[in-house]
Amino acid sequence: MSTKPILYVFGVSVWSAAAELAAAELFSEGDIEYKTVNLMEGENFAPSFIKKNPNATLPTLEAEGQFYTSTLEVTSYFVKKASTKVKSANPELIEILHADNLDPNTALLLFVR
């Protein structure tokens, strides 16, 4: 079992990219293991992934025996655990930006055939 955090991502997912960017800014290369979950092939609905994240969404972070299942939870974990300390943004603004009705991945899903 890996002792490194495992970040489950998908390359064209906006929210996955946000978590990957946070990881790249706050941690050294090799500190985090990355695993791709192909949303276009429905890999996020595999029973093994549903056990990690019942919402079947990305990003998902597995760290210290816990699962973090939203971009907000993942990036908050990264900020808390990073050796480089950064000032957190306004929590109310972050909640607004991560509201379900503002999902930037909607365009991706509308144009995939």
CATH (domain of 94): 3.40.30.10
Mean pLDDT of 34-61: 96
pLDDT of amino acid 96: 66
Residue with tokens 């930006």: 97
Q: For residue 26, tell me if it sits in a domain.
A: yes
8 contacts 37 by C-beta, under 8 angstroms: yes
| Residue 99: predicted pLDDT | 66
Using the predicted structure, report yes or no on whether residue 74 has a pLDDT greater than 80.
yes
Of residues 97 and 8, the one with the higher pLDDT is 8
Any domain includes 69: yes
Q: Does any domain span residue 1? A: no
Please report the beta strands in the chain, taking only residues with DSSP state E, as ranges in sequence order.
6-9, 33-36, 60-63, 66-68
pTM: 0.77
- Domain range for 78 is 6-111
Domain count, the chain: 1
